[in-house]
Amino acid sequence: MGTWVSIRSQATKGLERHLLSAVPACAVTSHRKVGEGPRFLLPTGPESLLPATAARASTPDGRGRTGWGILPNVLGYLIHESACWSDTLQRWFFLPRRASHERYSEKEDEHKGTNLLLSAAQDFGDISVRRVGELVPTHGFSSFKFIPNTDDQIIVALKSEEDTGIIASYIMAFTLDGRVLLPETKIGSVKYEGIEFI
């Protein structure tokens, strides 16, 4: 994929893009509203919700192909740091960092780690959820990739822990049906945010 994602804005703050991924003829990103950095959360009132997030698919000439609009924080929340599109399986895959059925709380969020694998058809008309490995509430996924030459059937993933000053990273591997090949193994007392095969 060439570098064809561009942002036009009069905002003075940077725009944080998450989940940049490519599908045939478009790039998909999600982001906080243009010009908004992270907001401090207040204990009460509407500002205690996470900032609104939008998702969009863009074509190489910069036109929006699909505007999915604002994604509200209505039924709890998911926080994603990684997503992958599988050309082989023609599906999206997400390993959320955090998940909760409750309203967002900055204090409680460090204990909302997941062991969820979400998979969706390209149009999001078919979504499946599976659990992989043991749930450790302070550990959430920060990155993953399909292991090459496995027909996108095996994933290697990084999980991060950030809990009251404790920082650590873990690696694990599993199949799409949830079978763990390498259980969570600590690889350092730092946060690794990416994994690549070169």
Tell whether residue 193 is among the known ligand binding residues.
yes
Mean pLDDT of 59-80: 59
Token pair for residue 13? 């703050």
Q: Is 186 exposed, middle or buried (0-12, 13-18, 19+ CB in 10 A)?
A: exposed
Per-residue confidence (pLDDT) for residue 179, from 0 to 100: 97
Tell whether residue 16 is among the known ligand binding residues.
no
Residues 75-198, CATH architecture: 6 Propeller (2.120)
Give me the amino acid identity at 86: S
3-state secondary structure of 22: strand
pTM confidence score: 0.67
CA distance 69 to 4: 21
pLDDT tens figures, 160-178? 999 988 999 999 999 999 9
Q: Where are the domains of the chain?
A: 12-73, 75-198
DSSP 172-198: EEEETTS-EEEEEEEEESS--------
Per-residue confidence (pLDDT) for residue 89, from 0 to 100: 98
Bigger pLDDT: 49 or 168? Answer: 168
Q: Is the per-residue pLDDT at 49 higher than 80?
A: no
Q: Is the per-residue pLDDT at 7 higher than 60?
A: no
Contact 143, 193 (CB under 8 A): yes
Tell whether residue 128 is among the known ligand binding residues.
no
Q: Is the per-residue pLDDT at 93 higher than 50?
A: yes
